[in-house]
Amino acid sequence: MDVGKSLNPAIDVGQIEGAFVMGMGLYALEEHRFGPDGHLKTSGAGKYHIPTISSIPLEMNVSLLKDSGNPQAIYSSKCIGEPPLLLSNSVFFAIESAVSAARRQAGLSPDFVLNSPATAKRIQSACGVEPCRLFKSRVARV
């Protein structure tokens, strides 16, 4: 990624990874819910699903473009948060593509609506899967 003349590459890489994970939560996990009175019911990390160690990529390959200065900025730096935040919409589009493939495999119409965030419930609905089909009713025999 082009960060200009990096003052601290380790911090820049952390910012890039953090922005991507933040966007991943925005597009795939964090659903705001409102009560009948219009007030936000999910007003904190304890009330809605944010990215955790179990929901983020195990490996993120980030590299910084070398010697790419920006003479217009202080210390020749560039912004690093917005581009990876926007890149994280690729997570949403990958989910949308997987839903499309699942619908095709199930013989369903290729037309569907999947709004962001692509929560598990919305993905299930878009795939045309009934909740009762998610669990096998077989009991293991010993």
* E strand or H helix that includes residue 92: helix 89-105
Catalytic residues: 82
Q: How far is CA 10 from CA 7, 24, 52, 61, in A?
A: 9, 21, 21, 13
Residue 138's Cβ-side half-sphere holds a number of Cα atoms within 13 Å equal to: 4
**Residue 4 main-chain phi, psi, to 5 deg:** 80, -145
